[in-house]
Structure formats: C-alpha cells, structure tokens
C-alpha cells in the first residue's frame, strides 16, 4: 500500500514543483546556518569579556605584525590576562593569553583550526603539523626516532662543519668595520645543516649559494611562500582562497609551494637512484629513518607522507631556527656585557677546542638562559589555533562549538602576571632557582602537550652550537642607531636582514 501511495504522489508531482521544494529546502538550510552563526556571534561579541573594538561594525583593525602593532595588541589585551574575545568583522575567536587556560586547552582540545590548515596544506601537505587523530599518532611514533639521542650526536658533527663554513663566509665578507646582513647568512647555514642531516648531502651551500641552482630554487620558492603568508595574516580578505589566489601574491604562493615540493621530491628520487650502502642504525640520516621505519603491522610511510614530512622538516628545521638565531644575535649585539658573559662560559667549556662535542651542550647553562629569554620575547611561532568541536568552559564562560581558540604564545610570554617587567631582557629568569617559579605553560616556544615540536632538541642544539662557535671567534655589535623591527612571514622574523658587525677576536 505504501508503494501505491508513493507512486501516486510521484505522478502528481511535477518536475517544476520538485525544483521549488529543493530550492526551499536549501534556503531553509542556509537560514538555519545563518541563525546559528548570528546566535554564536552575538554571544561571543556581547557576552564574553574582551577589549574595546576599534569600530562598532568592523571590530578590530587587521594590521601587519610589527613591533608597534604587537605592542598595541599587548596593551589592548593587558586587562584580560587569561583570555579575551576578538572580533574582526564577521570573524571571531578567543585569544588565550594566560598559561593556565593554555594548559587546559592543550590537554583537552585536539582539533586544528581548519582555516589555517587549508591555507597551509597546499605547501606542507598533511605532515605532523596538520594531521590529526590516528594518522598523527601513528606518524608521530614512526618519526620520533629521527630525533633520538644517537641521531642528535651525529647531527652535532654536521652542525660543527656548517659552523666552520659560516665562519669562513664571515671572514671572507666582513672587514670588521662594515655590517653584514645576518638573516640570509644564518638561513643559508641552517638550510645547509638540515639538508645534510636529512640526506647526507655533504652540501657546502653557504659557499656556493649563487651557483647551487637546486637549492636556490627551494630558497626562491620559500620566499614566495613567506610573502604569501604575510599577506594572508595581515589582510582580512586574503583569508579567502577565492580572493587570495586571484592576487599576484597568491599566484606566486602557489608557484612557491610547487617549487619547494619539487625540490623535496628530487631529494627522494636522488636517494632512490643512488641508494646508500647498508650501515649501522647509528649512521642513518633522516631520510633513512623515514623510509625504513615501520609500525606494529609492518607498514611504513607512503611516498606522499614522506614528501609531506620531509617538506615540514626542511622548513621547520631551518626557517624557525634561523629566525630564532637572528634574534639571539641581535640581543648579543644589543647587550655587550651579557655577550661577554656568554663568551666567558663558552671559553670555559670549550677551552682551546674549536669543535663542540655533544657533552658540551648541556654545560652551556647561561647561554641556554640567554637563548630562552630571547625566545620568550620573540618566539618563532606567535600563536597556535585550535577549533572547538564541542562546547568548552573557560573561567565559568561557556564557549560554543565551532569557535576558534587562538593560543597567543607571544602574549603568554609577555603576560605581566607571570613575567614581572615583561619587556625587559633578563636571562636570569631561566636560572634553575627561578624556573620553579614559572607556570609550566608560561614559556612554550615549541608548543606544549602531546603535539609539542618533535625537533625542539635539534633546534636548541643547533642554536647553541652556532652561537658558541661564533662567540669564540667574533665580537658582535650593532650599527649605530639601528633598532630592530619584526614581521610575520610564516614565522616571526626581523623585518630586515639585520645588519651586524663581526669583529675578529
């Protein structure tokens, strides 16, 4: 009987009527989505605490990140030392500024903000930074041995050789009286290090940067990506793909993503064509470890996964480290008395040796404090964004699902409730007797929780080695009248090439 009724209704329903029903249904669906959005927006805007808006309709101004805008944001949010709602036109989020709240989120919220995922995946794919769930857990477990103790010992040798070449370049290009541009110098060095760690290239990129065309392709591609991400971070409308990829900067970003990926593929193809002889696990490079790792079921990483992870390693292994090192050397030059204190420690640990050994790294206690204080003020990654897939409560305030939680590492590191006189550069904050006074999430330059940076020990070791090696050879100083400014091109960096004077000791 039901079939008979259905056939009758079908016969009586014209195609014209059916189209109207479908259109009406879709319209009701859109109205429901709009209602949910307006309800959520109204609640976030008027019921949650947050700074005064610059405009009643457009909310807060979107500005390029520099020292001035960062100081303004810091001042704007100072009355909200735990969290505050932020409104940018129709876009809203919760800015997390307190380490207690950050700890709560890191431990309970897993989902990434899909907005940033789709902006970055054309470049980095579905590597550790963006993968989630079982895929992330499996791959994180497979990749962790890449940064085990024995691997790091081998990488220290590579870092020393690249430091030798960097010293050679400085001696060649510097007369001790005129500044040299440090940012491209340190980025060439860190790129050389990560390439040699990944695939045992034996690269001398620093000495042959103008003639090494394959590496230059990667460098040029990455610069296109940096310019593209700077545009997306600082322009409201560039968040949307349909607008961004119509701009020249968006087209160049897509081209840069293709160039960097092609370079990574060429490294893998080169290894396949010229496989390394079987050797001890202790001699494996990163590419060996990636291709030979297996899970409990005997399955390894797919070729696409290897490409995505290597792409992430090459970028994170040199760009973030290069940016952090730039700020370290800026502070060494700015505070000569602290530079001398670092140098005295380096000399006491190394004695007459030039090469740094693995056991030396743990002895650089004051230098470590100096580097950490630099990363407190200038963390390479300024914020981490997560998306709520279910309601979440902060300090009694219920945050609805589908709202972005932006953990502001930069503002947490300058939170006056946890860092007295937060803008003052003071390495003693990180002495052993003072560390216990800090909240465990008040200093998180490498993120925190289960998804913290897998390569943080690699990065810290590299920064310590290059800093110690150069301090042993040179006095570093600033050009008269120079003052640094900052920008965000994927990571926080000096806005210029940081002119520094290197005077041989």
Give per-residue pLDDT as tens, 326-338.
999 999 999 999 9
Whether 486 has a pLDDT exceeding 80, the answer reads yes
pLDDT confidence band for 471 (50 / 70 / 90)? very high
pLDDT at position 4 is 67
Residues comprising the binding site for heme? Answer: 453
Which parts are annotated binding residues?
Answer: 453
CATH no., domain 31-114+382-444: 3.30.43.20
231 contacts 251 by C-beta, under 8 angstroms: no
CA distance 288 to 285: 5
In 136-156, which positions are buried (b, 16+ CB within 10 angstroms) versus exposed (e)? bebbeebbeebbeeebbeebb
The predicted structure's pLDDT at residue 175: 78
Q: Cβ distance 110 to 119 under 8 Å?
A: no
Phi-psi region at 498: left, alpha or beta (left = phi > 0; alpha = psi -120 to 50): left
249-276 mean pLDDT:
86
- Rounded to an integer, the average pLDDT of 358-382 is 95
**pLDDT at residue 150 is higher than 70:** yes
pLDDT for position 9:
52
Average pLDDT over residues 12-36: 80
Sequence-distant (≥ 6) Cβ neighbours of residue 67 within 8 angstroms = 484, 485, 486
pTM, two decimals, is 0.90
């Amino acid at each position: 009987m039901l079939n008979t009724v259905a056939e009758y209704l079908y016969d009586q329903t014209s195609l014209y009527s059916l189209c109207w029903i479908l259109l009406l249904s879709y319209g009701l669906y859109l109205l429901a989505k709009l209602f949910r959005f307006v309800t959520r927006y109204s609640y976030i805007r008027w019921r949650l605490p947050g700074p005064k808006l610059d405009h009643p309709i457009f909310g807060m101004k979107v500005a390029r990140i520099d020292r001035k805008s960062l100081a303004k944001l810091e001042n704007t949010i100072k009355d909200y030392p735990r969290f505050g709602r932020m409104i940018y036109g129709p876009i809203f989020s919760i800015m997390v500024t307190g380490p207690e709240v950050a700890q709560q989120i890191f431990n309970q919220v897993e989902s990434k903000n899909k907005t940033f995922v789709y902006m970055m995946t054309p470049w980095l794919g579905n590597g550790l930074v963006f993968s989630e769930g079982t895929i992330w857990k499996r791959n994180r477990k497979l990749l962790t041995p890449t940064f085990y103790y024995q691997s790091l010992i081998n990488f220290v040798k590579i870092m020393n050789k690249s430091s030798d070449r960097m010293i050679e370049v400085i001696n060649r290009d510097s007369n001790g009286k005129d500044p040299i541009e440090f940012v491209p110098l340190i980025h060439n060095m860190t790129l050389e290090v990560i390439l040699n760690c990944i695939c045992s290239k034996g690269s001398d990129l620093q000495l042959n940067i103008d003639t090494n065309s394959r590496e230059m392709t990667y460098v040029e591609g990455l610069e296109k990506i940096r310019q593209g991400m700077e545009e997306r971070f600082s322009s409201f409308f560039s968040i949307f793909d349909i607008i961004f990829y119509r701009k020249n900067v968006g087209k160049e970003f897509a081209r840069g993503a293709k160039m960097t990926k092609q370079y990574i593929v060429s490294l893998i193809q080169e290894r396949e064509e010229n496989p390394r002889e079987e050797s001890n696990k202790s001699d494996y490079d990163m590419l060996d470890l990636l291709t030979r790792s297996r899970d409990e079921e005997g399955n390894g990483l797919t070729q696409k996964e290897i490409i995505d992870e290597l792409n992430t390693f090459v970028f994170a292994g040199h760009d973030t480290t290069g940016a952090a090192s730039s700020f370290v050397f800026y502070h060494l030059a700015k505070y000569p008395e602290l530079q001398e204190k670092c140098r005295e420690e380096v000399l006491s640990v190394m004695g007459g040796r030039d090469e740094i050994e693995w056991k030396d790294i743990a002895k650089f206690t004051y230098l470590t404090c100096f580097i950490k204080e630099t990363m407190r003020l200038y963390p390479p990654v300024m914020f981490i964004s997560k998306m709520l897939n279910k309601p979440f409560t902060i300090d009694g305030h219920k945050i609805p699902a589908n709202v972005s939680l932006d953990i502001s590492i930069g503002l947490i590191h300058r939170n006056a409730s946890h860092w007295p006189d937060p803008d003052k550069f003071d390495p003693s904050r990180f002495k052993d007797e003072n560390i216990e006074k800090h909240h465990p999430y008040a200093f998180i330059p490498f993120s925190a929780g289960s998804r913290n940076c897998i390569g943080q020990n690699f990065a810290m070791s590299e920064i310590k080695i290059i800093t110690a090696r150069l301090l042993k050879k040179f006095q570093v100083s600033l050009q008269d009248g120079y003052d640094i400014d900052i920008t965000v091109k994927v990571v926080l960096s000096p806005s210029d090439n940081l002119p520094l004077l290197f005077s041989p000791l």
